[in-house]
Structure 1
Protein backbone atom coordinates (compact mmCIF):
# COMPACT_ATOMS: atom_id res chain seq x y z
CA UNK A 1 0.00 0.00 0.00
CA UNK A 2 2.53 2.55 -1.27
CA UNK A 3 6.02 3.45 -0.05
CA UNK A 4 7.62 6.88 0.21
CA UNK A 5 10.85 8.60 1.16
CA UNK A 6 11.62 12.25 1.97
CA UNK A 7 15.06 13.80 2.29
CA UNK A 8 15.96 17.24 3.62
CA UNK A 9 19.57 18.33 4.10
CA UNK A 10 22.82 18.84 2.28
CA UNK A 11 22.22 18.60 -1.49
CA UNK A 12 22.42 15.07 -2.92
CA UNK A 13 21.61 13.49 -6.25
CA UNK A 14 18.17 11.90 -6.36
CA UNK A 15 19.58 8.46 -7.14
CA UNK A 16 21.05 8.39 -3.61
CA UNK A 17 17.47 7.58 -2.55
CA UNK A 18 15.84 6.10 -5.64
CA UNK A 19 18.20 3.61 -7.26
CA UNK A 20 21.57 3.18 -5.55
CA UNK A 21 20.66 1.78 -2.09
CA UNK A 22 19.98 -1.95 -1.83
CA UNK A 23 16.55 -1.13 -0.46
CA UNK A 24 16.01 2.00 -2.53
CA UNK A 25 12.51 3.31 -3.16
CA UNK A 26 12.62 1.64 -6.59
CA UNK A 27 13.59 -1.67 -4.98
CA UNK A 28 10.60 -1.22 -2.67
CA UNK A 29 8.36 -0.85 -5.72
CA UNK A 30 8.85 -4.54 -6.57
CA UNK A 31 10.05 -6.06 -3.28
CA UNK A 32 8.76 -4.13 -0.31
CA UNK A 33 9.97 -5.66 2.95
CA UNK A 34 7.50 -4.11 5.40
CA UNK A 35 4.44 -3.33 3.31
CA UNK A 36 1.23 -5.33 3.18
CA UNK A 37 2.16 -6.39 -0.32
CA UNK A 38 5.58 -6.55 -2.02
CA UNK A 39 4.51 -4.85 -5.26
CA UNK A 40 3.97 -1.10 -5.61
CA UNK A 41 3.88 -0.89 -9.37
CA UNK A 42 0.94 1.41 -10.10
CA UNK A 43 3.01 4.47 -10.88
CA UNK A 44 5.58 6.63 -9.15
CA UNK A 45 6.53 10.22 -8.66
CA UNK A 46 9.34 12.57 -7.68
CA UNK A 47 9.30 16.15 -6.45
CA UNK A 48 12.38 18.19 -5.65
CA UNK A 49 13.29 21.81 -5.03
CA UNK A 50 15.81 24.02 -6.79
CA UNK A 51 15.46 27.29 -4.84
CA UNK A 52 17.94 29.16 -7.05
CA UNK A 53 15.46 28.76 -9.90
CA UNK A 54 12.01 28.68 -8.28
CA UNK A 55 10.14 28.50 -4.98
CA UNK A 56 7.88 25.87 -6.56
CA UNK A 57 9.11 22.28 -6.84
CA UNK A 58 9.94 20.27 -9.91
CA UNK A 59 7.58 17.33 -10.45
CA UNK A 60 7.94 14.09 -12.43
CA UNK A 61 5.17 11.47 -12.33
CA UNK A 62 4.46 8.41 -14.43
CA UNK A 63 2.08 5.45 -14.51
CA UNK A 64 4.99 3.17 -15.41
CA UNK A 65 6.26 0.80 -12.75
CA UNK A 66 9.23 2.59 -11.17
CA UNK A 67 11.56 -0.35 -11.84
CA UNK A 68 10.88 -0.14 -15.57
CA UNK A 69 11.39 3.56 -16.32
CA UNK A 70 14.77 4.48 -17.78
CA UNK A 71 13.86 8.18 -17.78
CA UNK A 72 13.56 8.05 -14.00
CA UNK A 73 16.95 6.39 -13.61
CA UNK A 74 18.73 8.86 -15.89
CA UNK A 75 16.98 11.90 -14.38
CA UNK A 76 17.86 10.78 -10.85
CA UNK A 77 21.56 10.50 -11.69
CA UNK A 78 21.91 14.13 -12.79
CA UNK A 79 19.41 15.98 -10.59
CA UNK A 80 20.54 17.32 -7.23
CA UNK A 81 18.54 18.92 -4.43
CA UNK A 82 18.41 19.65 -0.71
CA UNK A 83 14.76 18.50 -0.48
CA UNK A 84 13.52 15.43 -2.35
CA UNK A 85 10.29 13.44 -2.14
CA UNK A 86 9.72 10.10 -3.89
CA UNK A 87 6.70 7.78 -3.88
CA UNK A 88 5.79 4.42 -5.42
CA UNK A 89 2.10 3.60 -5.61
CA UNK A 90 -0.09 0.57 -5.02
CA UNK A 91 -3.57 1.59 -6.17
CA UNK A 92 -6.38 1.04 -3.68
CA UNK A 93 -10.13 0.70 -4.12
CA UNK A 94 -11.51 1.67 -7.51
CA UNK A 95 -8.97 4.38 -8.28
CA UNK A 96 -7.44 4.31 -11.74
CA UNK A 97 -3.79 3.89 -12.59
CA UNK A 98 -3.37 7.38 -14.02
CA UNK A 99 -0.86 10.19 -13.78
CA UNK A 100 -3.41 12.33 -11.92
CA UNK A 101 -3.54 9.70 -9.18
CA UNK A 102 0.23 9.40 -8.76
CA UNK A 103 1.98 11.02 -5.80
CA UNK A 104 3.48 13.41 -4.88
CA UNK A 105 0.85 16.13 -5.28
CA UNK A 106 1.93 19.74 -5.75
CA UNK A 107 0.07 22.94 -4.92
CA UNK A 108 2.04 26.17 -5.19
CA UNK A 109 5.20 25.67 -3.16
CA UNK A 110 3.73 22.69 -1.23
CA UNK A 111 4.29 18.97 -1.88
CA UNK A 112 2.22 16.20 -0.26
CA UNK A 113 2.46 12.37 -0.09
CA UNK A 114 0.39 9.68 1.65
CA UNK A 115 0.82 6.03 2.53
CA UNK A 116 -2.36 4.34 3.70
CA UNK A 117 -6.08 4.86 3.13
CA UNK A 118 -9.13 6.77 4.31
CA UNK A 119 -11.72 4.31 5.61
CA UNK A 120 -14.69 3.87 3.25
CA UNK A 121 -13.42 6.71 1.09
CA UNK A 122 -16.15 6.27 -1.52
CA UNK A 123 -18.66 6.99 1.27
CA UNK A 124 -17.00 10.13 2.64
CA UNK A 125 -15.63 11.72 -0.55
CA UNK A 126 -18.74 13.67 -1.57
CA UNK A 127 -19.11 15.33 1.82
CA UNK A 128 -15.46 16.31 1.96
CA UNK A 129 -15.51 17.74 -1.57
CA UNK A 130 -18.44 19.99 -0.67
CA UNK A 131 -16.43 21.64 2.11
CA UNK A 132 -13.49 22.68 -0.09
CA UNK A 133 -12.72 26.26 -0.97
CA UNK A 134 -13.08 27.01 -4.68
CA UNK A 135 -9.34 27.17 -5.29
CA UNK A 136 -8.79 23.85 -3.51
CA UNK A 137 -11.75 22.22 -5.29
CA UNK A 138 -10.39 23.19 -8.70
CA UNK A 139 -7.03 21.67 -7.86
CA UNK A 140 -8.38 18.12 -7.37
CA UNK A 141 -7.78 16.33 -10.67
CA UNK A 142 -7.72 12.67 -9.64
CA UNK A 143 -9.75 10.19 -7.61
CA UNK A 144 -7.54 9.49 -4.61
CA UNK A 145 -8.16 10.06 -0.93
CA UNK A 146 -4.59 11.36 -0.79
CA UNK A 147 -5.12 14.26 -3.18
CA UNK A 148 -8.36 15.23 -1.45
CA UNK A 149 -6.59 15.28 1.92
CA UNK A 150 -3.99 17.58 0.37
CA UNK A 151 -6.77 19.91 -0.75
CA UNK A 152 -8.22 19.83 2.77
CA UNK A 153 -4.75 20.61 4.15
CA UNK A 154 -4.36 23.64 1.89
CA UNK A 155 -7.82 24.82 2.92
CA UNK A 156 -6.95 24.47 6.60
CA UNK A 157 -3.67 26.30 6.04
CA UNK A 158 -5.18 29.21 4.15
CA UNK A 159 -2.67 32.04 3.78
CA UNK A 160 -0.59 30.84 6.73
CA UNK A 161 2.80 29.19 6.41
CA UNK A 162 5.58 27.89 8.62
CA UNK A 163 6.00 24.82 10.76
CA UNK A 164 3.36 25.67 13.38
CA UNK A 165 0.45 26.29 10.99
CA UNK A 166 1.50 23.33 8.82
CA UNK A 167 1.53 21.00 11.83
CA UNK A 168 -1.90 22.17 12.94
CA UNK A 169 -3.34 21.87 9.43
CA UNK A 170 -2.09 18.28 9.10
CA UNK A 171 -3.59 17.38 12.48
CA UNK A 172 -6.87 19.04 11.51
CA UNK A 173 -7.05 16.78 8.44
CA UNK A 174 -6.51 13.71 10.64
CA UNK A 175 -9.13 14.96 13.10
CA UNK A 176 -11.60 15.41 10.26
CA UNK A 177 -10.97 11.87 9.03
CA UNK A 178 -11.50 10.49 12.53
CA UNK A 179 -14.59 12.63 13.14
CA UNK A 180 -16.12 11.49 9.84
CA UNK A 181 -15.38 7.87 10.70
CA UNK A 182 -17.20 8.27 14.03
CA UNK A 183 -20.17 10.19 12.60
CA UNK A 184 -20.70 7.67 9.82
CA UNK A 185 -20.10 4.68 12.10
CA UNK A 186 -17.33 3.29 9.94
CA UNK A 187 -15.60 0.32 11.54
CA UNK A 188 -12.61 0.20 9.19
CA UNK A 189 -9.61 2.21 10.50
CA UNK A 190 -7.96 5.15 8.80
CA UNK A 191 -4.28 4.70 7.91
CA UNK A 192 -2.72 8.14 7.58
CA UNK A 193 1.04 8.29 7.13
CA UNK A 194 1.33 11.77 5.63
CA UNK A 195 4.28 13.92 4.54
CA UNK A 196 4.13 17.56 3.46
CA UNK A 197 6.68 20.30 2.89
CA UNK A 198 6.75 23.93 1.79
CA UNK A 199 10.32 23.65 0.52
CA UNK A 200 11.82 24.63 3.87
CA UNK A 201 9.97 22.85 6.70
CA UNK A 202 8.59 19.31 6.81
CA UNK A 203 5.70 17.64 8.64
CA UNK A 204 5.16 13.86 8.65
CA UNK A 205 2.83 11.54 10.57
CA UNK A 206 2.45 7.89 11.47
CA UNK A 207 -1.18 7.26 12.37
CA UNK A 208 -3.95 4.64 12.39
CA UNK A 209 -7.36 4.70 14.05
CA UNK A 210 -7.96 3.08 17.43
CA UNK A 211 -5.50 0.29 18.12
CA UNK A 212 -4.77 -0.59 14.50
CA UNK A 213 -1.11 -0.92 13.58
CA UNK A 214 -0.16 1.99 11.31
CA UNK A 215 1.96 1.64 8.17
CA UNK A 216 5.68 1.56 8.86
CA UNK A 217 7.74 4.75 9.13
CA UNK A 218 11.39 5.41 10.05
CA UNK A 219 13.89 8.25 10.09
CA UNK A 220 17.67 8.68 10.11
CA UNK A 221 19.85 11.74 10.73
CA UNK A 222 23.41 12.81 10.12
CA UNK A 223 25.74 15.47 8.78
CA UNK A 224 24.85 14.32 5.28
CA UNK A 225 24.26 11.01 3.55
CA UNK A 226 25.83 8.89 0.84
CA UNK A 227 25.53 5.51 -0.80
CA UNK A 228 28.56 3.23 -1.19
CA UNK A 229 28.29 -0.18 -2.89
CA UNK A 230 24.56 -0.23 -2.28
CA UNK A 231 24.82 0.72 1.40
CA UNK A 232 22.95 3.87 2.36
CA UNK A 233 24.88 5.68 5.11
CA UNK A 234 24.63 8.86 7.10
CA UNK A 235 27.95 10.62 7.63
CA UNK A 236 27.48 10.35 11.37
CA UNK A 237 25.76 7.40 13.02
CA UNK A 238 23.83 6.95 16.21
CA UNK A 239 20.24 6.65 17.35
CA UNK A 240 17.92 9.57 17.89
CA UNK A 241 16.79 10.31 21.43
CA UNK A 242 13.19 11.31 22.14
CA UNK A 243 13.97 14.99 22.40
CA UNK A 244 14.52 17.78 19.87
CA UNK A 245 17.69 17.25 17.84
CA UNK A 246 19.46 19.11 15.11
CA UNK A 247 21.26 17.55 12.15
CA UNK A 248 22.35 18.71 8.72
CA UNK A 249 20.37 15.96 6.98
CA UNK A 250 17.25 13.93 7.78
CA UNK A 251 15.60 11.06 5.88
CA UNK A 252 12.02 9.95 6.57
CA UNK A 253 11.06 6.70 4.87
CA UNK A 254 8.41 3.99 4.86
CA UNK A 255 11.24 1.48 5.05
CA UNK A 256 14.93 1.80 5.97
CA UNK A 257 17.08 2.18 2.88
CA UNK A 258 19.80 0.04 4.48
CA UNK A 259 20.47 -2.48 7.24
CA UNK A 260 22.75 -0.01 9.02
CA UNK A 261 21.92 0.78 12.68
CA UNK A 262 21.02 4.37 11.94
CA UNK A 263 17.24 4.07 11.57
CA UNK A 264 14.72 4.90 14.29
CA UNK A 265 11.17 3.61 14.01
CA UNK A 266 8.54 6.32 14.50
CA UNK A 267 6.10 5.34 17.24
CA UNK A 268 2.40 5.04 16.32
CA UNK A 269 0.42 8.25 16.67
CA UNK A 270 3.45 10.51 16.29
CA UNK A 271 4.02 13.71 14.34
CA UNK A 272 7.51 14.58 13.10
CA UNK A 273 8.56 18.10 12.15
CA UNK A 274 11.75 19.47 10.65
CA UNK A 275 12.09 23.22 11.14
CA UNK A 276 13.96 25.66 8.94
CA UNK A 277 16.89 25.57 11.39
CA UNK A 278 17.25 21.75 10.98
CA UNK A 279 15.63 20.86 14.29
CA UNK A 280 13.66 17.59 14.31
CA UNK A 281 10.87 17.13 16.86
CA UNK A 282 8.74 14.10 17.58
CA UNK A 283 5.45 14.54 19.47
CA UNK A 284 2.04 12.87 19.83
CA UNK A 285 -0.68 13.75 17.32
CA UNK A 286 -3.45 15.63 19.09
CA UNK A 287 -6.82 14.16 18.06
Structure 2
Protein backbone atom coordinates (compact mmCIF):
# COMPACT_ATOMS: atom_id res chain seq x y z
CA UNK A 1 0.00 0.00 0.00
CA UNK A 2 2.82 2.40 0.94
CA UNK A 3 4.57 1.68 -2.38
CA UNK A 4 1.34 2.39 -4.29
CA UNK A 5 0.83 5.69 -2.40
CA UNK A 6 4.41 6.83 -3.00
CA UNK A 7 4.15 5.90 -6.66
CA UNK A 8 0.95 7.91 -6.96
CA UNK A 9 2.51 10.97 -5.33
CA UNK A 10 5.53 10.74 -7.62
CA UNK A 11 3.24 10.60 -10.65
CA UNK A 12 1.29 13.60 -9.34
CA UNK A 13 4.41 15.73 -8.85
CA UNK A 14 5.83 14.73 -12.23
CA UNK A 15 2.55 15.59 -13.93
CA UNK A 16 2.17 18.96 -12.19
CA UNK A 17 3.30 21.83 -14.43
CA UNK A 18 6.42 23.63 -13.21
CA UNK A 19 6.13 27.37 -12.52
CA UNK A 20 7.25 29.26 -15.60
CA UNK A 21 9.49 32.29 -15.17
CA UNK A 22 7.97 35.68 -16.00
CA UNK A 23 8.23 36.75 -19.63
CA UNK A 24 11.09 39.17 -19.10
CA UNK A 25 11.67 39.67 -22.84
CA UNK A 26 8.03 40.71 -23.15
CA UNK A 27 8.35 43.10 -20.19
CA UNK A 28 11.51 44.63 -21.71
CA UNK A 29 9.72 45.10 -25.02
CA UNK A 30 6.65 46.65 -23.38
CA UNK A 31 8.77 49.14 -21.42
CA UNK A 32 11.20 49.87 -24.24
CA UNK A 33 14.34 49.03 -22.28
CA UNK A 34 16.12 46.15 -20.60
CA UNK A 35 15.64 45.65 -16.88
CA UNK A 36 18.56 45.26 -14.51
CA UNK A 37 18.37 41.98 -12.62
CA UNK A 38 18.72 42.31 -8.85
CA UNK A 39 19.03 39.77 -6.04
CA UNK A 40 16.07 37.39 -5.84
CA UNK A 41 15.36 37.63 -9.56
CA UNK A 42 13.85 41.13 -9.31
CA UNK A 43 14.00 43.11 -12.57
CA UNK A 44 14.28 46.84 -12.03
CA UNK A 45 13.57 49.47 -14.69
CA UNK A 46 14.70 53.10 -14.51
CA UNK A 47 13.01 56.07 -16.17
CA UNK A 48 15.20 59.10 -15.34
CA UNK A 49 13.48 62.46 -15.76
CA UNK A 50 16.27 63.83 -17.93
CA UNK A 51 13.70 66.14 -19.53
CA UNK A 52 13.29 68.17 -16.34
CA UNK A 53 15.56 71.03 -15.32
CA UNK A 54 14.91 71.19 -11.58
CA UNK A 55 16.83 73.72 -9.47
CA UNK A 56 16.87 73.79 -5.67
CA UNK A 57 18.81 76.40 -3.70
CA UNK A 58 20.86 77.11 -6.82
CA UNK A 59 21.71 73.42 -7.40
CA UNK A 60 20.72 71.89 -10.73
CA UNK A 61 19.54 68.43 -9.66
CA UNK A 62 20.84 65.47 -11.64
CA UNK A 63 18.32 62.69 -12.35
CA UNK A 64 20.34 60.27 -10.20
CA UNK A 65 20.20 62.64 -7.23
CA UNK A 66 16.42 62.81 -6.92
CA UNK A 67 14.60 62.63 -10.27
CA UNK A 68 14.69 58.93 -11.11
CA UNK A 69 11.36 57.19 -11.73
CA UNK A 70 11.61 53.41 -11.38
CA UNK A 71 9.59 50.21 -11.25
CA UNK A 72 10.74 46.83 -9.90
CA UNK A 73 9.12 43.52 -10.90
CA UNK A 74 9.43 40.71 -8.34
CA UNK A 75 8.68 37.19 -9.66
CA UNK A 76 5.79 35.26 -8.14
CA UNK A 77 5.78 32.12 -10.29
CA UNK A 78 4.89 33.33 -13.77
CA UNK A 79 3.25 36.45 -12.30
CA UNK A 80 4.92 39.45 -10.65
CA UNK A 81 4.51 41.94 -7.85
CA UNK A 82 5.42 45.46 -9.01
CA UNK A 83 6.46 48.38 -6.83
CA UNK A 84 7.74 51.72 -8.01
CA UNK A 85 8.06 55.47 -7.64
CA UNK A 86 7.22 57.90 -10.44
CA UNK A 87 8.57 61.47 -10.56
CA UNK A 88 5.89 63.78 -11.96
CA UNK A 89 5.14 67.45 -12.37
CA UNK A 90 1.95 68.76 -10.82
CA UNK A 91 0.18 68.77 -14.19
CA UNK A 92 1.12 65.14 -14.87
CA UNK A 93 -0.15 63.65 -11.60
CA UNK A 94 -3.82 63.02 -12.37
CA UNK A 95 -3.52 61.96 -16.03
CA UNK A 96 -0.88 59.37 -15.04
CA UNK A 97 -2.90 58.27 -12.01
CA UNK A 98 -6.04 57.70 -14.08
CA UNK A 99 -4.20 55.46 -16.55
CA UNK A 100 -2.54 53.50 -13.75
CA UNK A 101 -5.89 52.85 -12.09
CA UNK A 102 -7.36 51.73 -15.41
CA UNK A 103 -4.40 49.37 -15.83
CA UNK A 104 -4.89 47.61 -12.50
CA UNK A 105 -2.32 49.44 -10.37
CA UNK A 106 -2.83 50.72 -6.84
CA UNK A 107 -1.56 54.16 -5.82
CA UNK A 108 0.05 53.69 -2.40
CA UNK A 109 1.34 57.24 -1.79
CA UNK A 110 1.57 60.67 -3.41
CA UNK A 111 3.72 63.40 -1.92
CA UNK A 112 6.75 65.67 -2.18
CA UNK A 113 10.33 64.63 -1.50
CA UNK A 114 11.90 68.08 -1.90
CA UNK A 115 11.08 71.65 -0.83
CA UNK A 116 11.56 74.91 -2.77
CA UNK A 117 12.46 73.15 -6.02
CA UNK A 118 11.50 74.77 -9.33
CA UNK A 119 9.63 73.27 -10.98
CA UNK A 120 8.05 71.40 -8.08
CA UNK A 121 7.90 67.63 -8.43
CA UNK A 122 5.61 65.03 -6.89
CA UNK A 123 6.39 61.39 -6.24
CA UNK A 124 3.75 58.74 -6.92
CA UNK A 125 4.32 55.31 -5.35
CA UNK A 126 2.63 52.42 -7.12
CA UNK A 127 1.94 48.72 -6.60
CA UNK A 128 0.53 45.99 -8.80
CA UNK A 129 0.19 42.22 -8.99
CA UNK A 130 -0.52 40.04 -11.99
CA UNK A 131 0.62 39.14 -15.48
CA UNK A 132 3.94 40.91 -16.08
CA UNK A 133 3.56 42.03 -19.70
CA UNK A 134 0.06 43.35 -19.02
CA UNK A 135 1.33 45.40 -16.07
CA UNK A 136 4.34 46.64 -18.03
CA UNK A 137 2.08 47.72 -20.90
CA UNK A 138 -0.21 49.57 -18.48
CA UNK A 139 2.78 51.30 -16.90
CA UNK A 140 4.08 52.37 -20.30
CA UNK A 141 0.68 53.77 -21.24
CA UNK A 142 0.50 55.67 -17.95
CA UNK A 143 3.95 57.17 -18.39
CA UNK A 144 2.91 58.29 -21.87
CA UNK A 145 0.56 60.75 -20.13
CA UNK A 146 3.68 62.49 -18.80
CA UNK A 147 6.78 63.86 -20.50
CA UNK A 148 8.94 61.04 -19.10
CA UNK A 149 11.48 60.14 -21.81
CA UNK A 150 10.58 56.67 -23.07
CA UNK A 151 13.49 56.12 -25.46
CA UNK A 152 16.02 53.66 -24.00
CA UNK A 153 18.79 55.53 -22.16
CA UNK A 154 22.13 55.58 -24.01
CA UNK A 155 24.35 52.61 -23.26
CA UNK A 156 27.55 53.28 -21.34
CA UNK A 157 29.17 50.11 -22.74
CA UNK A 158 32.49 50.85 -24.36
CA UNK A 159 32.56 54.45 -23.13
CA UNK A 160 35.35 53.78 -20.64
CA UNK A 161 35.50 54.63 -16.97
CA UNK A 162 33.22 57.45 -15.78
CA UNK A 163 34.95 60.75 -15.03
CA UNK A 164 36.21 61.05 -11.45
CA UNK A 165 33.75 62.53 -8.99
CA UNK A 166 34.71 65.85 -7.40
CA UNK A 167 34.45 64.34 -3.92
CA UNK A 168 36.77 62.33 -1.67
CA UNK A 169 34.77 59.12 -1.99
CA UNK A 170 37.16 57.08 0.18
CA UNK A 171 36.70 59.50 3.08
CA UNK A 172 32.93 59.56 2.61
CA UNK A 173 32.81 55.74 2.56
CA UNK A 174 34.73 55.64 5.82
CA UNK A 175 32.50 58.24 7.48
CA UNK A 176 29.31 56.58 6.23
CA UNK A 177 30.43 53.06 7.15
CA UNK A 178 29.30 51.84 3.72
CA UNK A 179 30.56 51.59 0.15
CA UNK A 180 29.10 54.13 -2.25
CA UNK A 181 28.59 53.69 -5.98
CA UNK A 182 29.02 56.43 -8.58
CA UNK A 183 26.01 56.67 -10.90
CA UNK A 184 25.38 59.53 -13.30
CA UNK A 185 27.67 61.96 -11.52
CA UNK A 186 26.23 61.15 -8.07
CA UNK A 187 27.66 59.06 -5.21
CA UNK A 188 24.89 56.72 -4.05
CA UNK A 189 24.58 54.64 -0.87
CA UNK A 190 21.99 51.90 -0.31
CA UNK A 191 21.76 50.62 3.26
CA UNK A 192 19.31 47.73 3.92
CA UNK A 193 17.51 47.20 7.18
CA UNK A 194 18.28 44.12 9.29
CA UNK A 195 14.69 42.87 9.62
CA UNK A 196 12.78 40.78 7.10
CA UNK A 197 10.46 43.33 5.49
CA UNK A 198 7.07 42.31 4.09
CA UNK A 199 4.25 43.92 2.15
CA UNK A 200 0.97 42.12 1.59
CA UNK A 201 2.52 38.88 2.82
CA UNK A 202 5.44 39.04 0.35
CA UNK A 203 9.08 39.67 1.23
CA UNK A 204 10.16 43.09 -0.07
CA UNK A 205 13.92 43.09 -0.79
CA UNK A 206 15.98 46.31 -0.96
CA UNK A 207 15.51 46.49 -4.74
CA UNK A 208 11.82 47.20 -4.13
CA UNK A 209 12.71 50.47 -2.40
CA UNK A 210 13.04 49.26 1.18
CA UNK A 211 16.68 50.29 1.76
CA UNK A 212 17.78 53.69 3.04
CA UNK A 213 19.00 55.70 0.02
CA UNK A 214 21.54 58.50 0.42
CA UNK A 215 22.88 60.46 -2.55
CA UNK A 216 25.74 63.00 -2.78
CA UNK A 217 25.99 65.34 -5.79
CA UNK A 218 29.20 67.44 -5.87
CA UNK A 219 28.60 71.20 -5.86
CA UNK A 220 32.25 72.35 -5.82
CA UNK A 221 34.92 73.07 -3.22
CA UNK A 222 34.37 69.84 -1.31
CA UNK A 223 30.65 70.54 -0.92
CA UNK A 224 27.78 68.30 -1.92
CA UNK A 225 24.01 68.41 -2.19
CA UNK A 226 22.43 65.43 -0.46
CA UNK A 227 18.99 63.91 -0.63
CA UNK A 228 17.34 60.51 -0.33
CA UNK A 229 15.24 58.80 2.30
CA UNK A 230 15.69 56.95 5.57
CA UNK A 231 13.55 53.80 5.96
CA UNK A 232 12.43 53.74 9.60
CA UNK A 233 10.26 51.89 12.07
CA UNK A 234 8.13 54.06 14.37
CA UNK A 235 10.54 54.08 17.32
CA UNK A 236 13.36 55.40 15.12
CA UNK A 237 11.53 58.37 13.63
CA UNK A 238 12.17 60.89 16.43
CA UNK A 239 15.84 59.94 17.12
CA UNK A 240 16.72 60.06 13.42
CA UNK A 241 14.90 63.36 12.88
CA UNK A 242 16.75 64.91 15.80
CA UNK A 243 20.11 63.60 14.56
CA UNK A 244 19.56 65.05 11.10
CA UNK A 245 18.58 68.47 12.43
CA UNK A 246 21.55 68.47 14.79
CA UNK A 247 23.75 67.83 11.74
CA UNK A 248 22.34 70.82 9.87
CA UNK A 249 20.30 68.64 7.51
CA UNK A 250 16.74 69.63 6.59
CA UNK A 251 13.94 67.10 6.95
CA UNK A 252 11.72 67.69 3.92
CA UNK A 253 9.06 64.96 4.20
CA UNK A 254 7.88 62.11 6.44
CA UNK A 255 5.32 59.62 5.15
CA UNK A 256 4.52 56.06 4.05
CA UNK A 257 5.36 54.49 0.69
CA UNK A 258 3.38 51.24 1.13
CA UNK A 259 -0.01 50.24 2.53
CA UNK A 260 0.38 46.72 3.97
CA UNK A 261 3.99 46.71 5.16
CA UNK A 262 5.22 44.66 8.12
CA UNK A 263 6.76 46.15 10.17
CA UNK A 264 5.15 49.51 9.47
CA UNK A 265 7.73 51.69 7.72
CA UNK A 266 8.13 55.45 7.61
CA UNK A 267 10.21 57.24 4.96
CA UNK A 268 12.06 60.40 5.97
CA UNK A 269 13.41 62.58 3.15
CA UNK A 270 16.14 65.16 3.63
CA UNK A 271 18.18 67.88 1.93
CA UNK A 272 21.34 69.88 2.50
CA UNK A 273 24.13 71.52 0.49
CA UNK A 274 27.27 71.85 2.60
CA UNK A 275 30.72 70.40 3.25
CA UNK A 276 30.42 66.75 2.19
CA UNK A 277 32.38 65.32 5.14
CA UNK A 278 30.32 67.35 7.63
CA UNK A 279 27.11 66.07 6.07
CA UNK A 280 28.39 62.48 6.07
CA UNK A 281 29.01 62.71 9.81
CA UNK A 282 25.45 63.98 10.35
CA UNK A 283 24.02 61.21 8.20
CA UNK A 284 26.09 58.57 9.99
CA UNK A 285 24.81 59.82 13.34
CA UNK A 286 21.27 59.20 12.08
CA UNK A 287 22.14 55.79 10.61
CA UNK A 288 23.59 54.70 13.96
CA UNK A 289 20.12 55.07 15.49
CA UNK A 290 18.64 52.46 13.16
CA UNK A 291 18.53 48.68 12.94
CA UNK A 292 20.47 48.35 9.70
CA UNK A 293 22.51 45.48 8.32
CA UNK A 294 26.13 45.75 9.35
CA UNK A 295 28.85 45.26 6.75
Whether TM-score is above 0.5 comes out as no
Higher RCO structure, 1 or 2 (CA under 8 Å, sep 6+): 1
What TM-score, normalized by structure 1, do the two folds share? 0.30
**If you compute each CA radius of gyration, which structure gives the higher value, 1 or 2?**
2
* Larger helix proportion of the pair: 2
